[in-house]
Amino acid sequence: MSLELLGSRILAPYFGNSIYVWGSLITVFLAALAAGYYLGGLLADHFPHSSTLAWPLFLASPTTFFIPALANLLGPFLLSLKLEPRWGSFLMALALFFIPSLWLGMLSPLAIRLLTLGLDTLGASAGTLYAVSTLGSIFGTFVTAFYLIPVWGVADLTRGAGLFLAGLSGLAWIILRRWRLLPLTLATVFLFALTWQPWVGSQPARSAQPAGQLPPGWKVLYQADSLYHHLWVVENADSRFLRFDNSWQSGMYLADPYATRFEYTDFFHLALVMNPKVKDVLFIGLGGGSAPKKFLRDYPEARIDVVELDPAVIAVARRFFFVPPDSPRFRVLAQDGRVFLQQTTRKYDLIVVDAYYADSIPFHLTTQEFLRELKSRLQPGGLVAANLIGAFEGPKSEVFRSLYRTFSSVFPTRYLFPVHWDKEADPSLLRNIILIAGEGRPLDRKILLQRAQEMVTNGQIQVPRLATYAASLYQNPVAVGDVPLLTDDHAPIDNLLRFDPQGAR
């Protein structure tokens, strides 16, 4: 179970953390265990000796230890093949985890055979073994998920598991007095030591670069495994970026931390054109904090709450992206956005949803029930602004059109603003699309454009290209008849994400 949890993190930088990744891992592990149980049973009948039990432990050791190294070679290769996420993740899981899981699967039937003294004790022996192994799985899952991954990181933990298996096989040789085989284990451990220098409490020993490789001149400032992502902070000559797994999340100019690096964040200010009285603002999703810190600086009377699921992201945003500490006007809470909405009694003039990252959208933040909770937390005249990734038409449009259908079922007024529409007005192009929704009477495009220009001219909004963004208002009908309405009961987001998300943000 520990290895399966680690597997999700090893695949995430290349294929995200979708249901396909978990489905691939579970399928591969179950198939390997089934094969291991069968082969272990055959070995148990033909070689019913204690030493037979030590061999699978020994063979599982190197095949586990070198998983991170193999992943660093295999992941970029599979990405270069442009495989569909479900097949790419399955092939990588198969290559990395089938063999070590097969060896480990052989242990149970071997152990049952050795523990069984007769047919009258077979049931008790099998029951005891499965109880002990299940308790071990519970312990390994709990400790790995809650403590070890955030402290050690994925690569060190995987290598540590390989070293632990080698130690167990060595202990078995000693107990069984198989002295001639003990040097084999010692040589294996020595080989591990030559290729690994573990350290505790620091960033994990992973590839020096994120999946997809960085251009020349870039450098990695920080990387770590959090409870939810593998985080990267990378930098080039003029900018710093935050990355979750294989998805770019946020950027900042080094010379001006408040200047817009990813243009989509400036589109959120269009909400103030529609409701100039915005004072209380909630952001669901922090990332590098580009939008919240700009709102805090540009609107001195505003009170801003930010809800971010991952505490490690909050720490990184404050350390590397100049997100300020909490104050009477600004606070950041480590909590799931939907849970926060259910628990808070506070109401907002504007709620910004920026928690949809390209390769894996949290489904519970897309459903009709979630949007109703958003609506219940709005002041009269309040608005929701959401950063969506998709296309208006064509094969990459299904996830956006499904989200739009769901928003339409809750909010009668909706505005769509495609990012970079002035550069390439192609409705089938994958891009960021800002959706602003509410209940008021929709503004005419001409009035919207005029207001935006006036508010920039008089200094109310410090976004110079705001009128250009307002002019990109998309007014063509969006076809939603062939896409699902997203509900808590049925939200097939992963199935709708059929595009390569690398270019969005």
CA distance 385 to 388: 10
**Can you tell me the mean pLDDT for 80-102?**
89
pLDDT at 501 (0 to 100): 45
**Token couple for 193:** 């030591």
CA distance 313 to 354: 14
- pTM of this structure: 0.75
Percent of the chain with pLDDT over 70: 87
Kindly report which listed range (192-196, 364-368, 448-452) carries the lowest average pLDDT score. Answer: 192-196
Residue of 409 and 502 predicted with greater confidence: 409
Q: Three-state secondary structure along 112-175?
A: HHHHCCCHHHHHHHHHHHHHHHHHHHHHHHHHHHHHHHHHHCHHHHHHHHHHHHHHHHHHHHHH
Superfamily of domain 263-503: Vaccinia Virus protein VP39 (3.40.50.150)
pLDDT at 202 (0 to 100): 37
pLDDT at 393 (0 to 100): 95
pLDDT at 504 (0 to 100): 47
- Per the CB < 8 A criterion, the answer to whether 226 and 150 are in contact is yes
Residue of 403 and 86 predicted with greater confidence: 403
pLDDT in tens, 386-432: 999 899 999 889 999 999 999 999 999 999 999 999 888 899 999 99
Kindly report which listed range (53-67, 76-90, 193-207, 329-343) carries the lowest average pLDDT score. Answer: 193-207
Can 354 be counted among the known catalytic residues? yes
pLDDT at 208 (0 to 100): 45
Q: Which residues pair with 220 in a beta bridge?
A: 234
Secondary structure of residue 402 in the 3-state scheme: helix
Q: Is the pLDDT of residue 115 over 90?
A: no
CB neighbours of residue 94 within 10 Å: 16
**Can you tell me the mean pLDDT for 16-43?**
88
CA distance 167 to 185: 8
Q: Is the pLDDT of residue 375 over 80?
A: yes
Residue of 81 and 464 predicted with greater confidence: 464
pLDDT at 498 (0 to 100): 56
Residue of 206 and 464 predicted with greater confidence: 464
CA distance 54 to 50: 7
Q: Is the pLDDT of residue 499 over 60?
A: no
Active-site option among 310, 354, 359, 494 = 354
pLDDT at 162 (0 to 100): 87
Residue 81 binned pLDDT confidence (cut-offs 50, 70, 90)? confident
CA distance 22 to 8: 7
Residue of 349 and 42 predicted with greater confidence: 349
pLDDT at 476 (0 to 100): 94
Query: What's the chain's average pLDDT?
Result: 86
pLDDT at 278 (0 to 100): 96
Please choose, from the candidates 373, 350, 374, 354, the residue with its C-alpha nearest in 3D space to the C-alpha of residue 271. Answer: 350
pLDDT at 9 (0 to 100): 78
pLDDT at 215 (0 to 100): 77
Phi, psi for residue 119 in degrees, rounded to 5: -60, -30
pLDDT at 306 (0 to 100): 98
Phi, psi for residue 419 in degrees, rounded to 5: -75, 140
Q: Is the pLDDT of residue 201 over 60?
A: no
Kindly report which listed range (103-112, 347-356, 387-396, 424-433) carries the lowest average pLDDT score. Answer: 103-112
Q: Is the pLDDT of residue 205 over 50?
A: no
Give the range with max mean pLDDT: 102-106, 114-118, 160-164.
102-106
Strands (E) across 391-505 are located at 413-418, 431-438
pLDDT at 304 (0 to 100): 98
Q: Is the pLDDT of residue 500 over 60?
A: no
Burial 141-161 (b: 16+ CB within 10 A, else e): eeebeeebbeebbbbbbbbbb
Give domain limits for the chain.
2-195, 219-243, 263-503
Q: Which residues pair with 357 in a beta bridge?
A: 360
CB neighbours of residue 472 within 10 Å: 17
Please choose, from the candidates 251, 252, 246, 157, the residue with its C-alpha nearest in 3D space to the C-alpha of residue 210. Answer: 246
pLDDT at 359 (0 to 100): 60
pLDDT at 120 (0 to 100): 62
Phi-psi region of 481 (alpha: psi -120 to 50; beta: other; left: phi over 0): alpha
**Can you tell me the mean pLDDT for 491-501?**
68
Kindly report which listed range (267-276, 397-406, 485-494) carries the lowest average pLDDT score. Answer: 485-494
pLDDT in tens, 122-171: 677 677 777 877 787 788 778 877 777 767 778 888 888 888 888 888 88
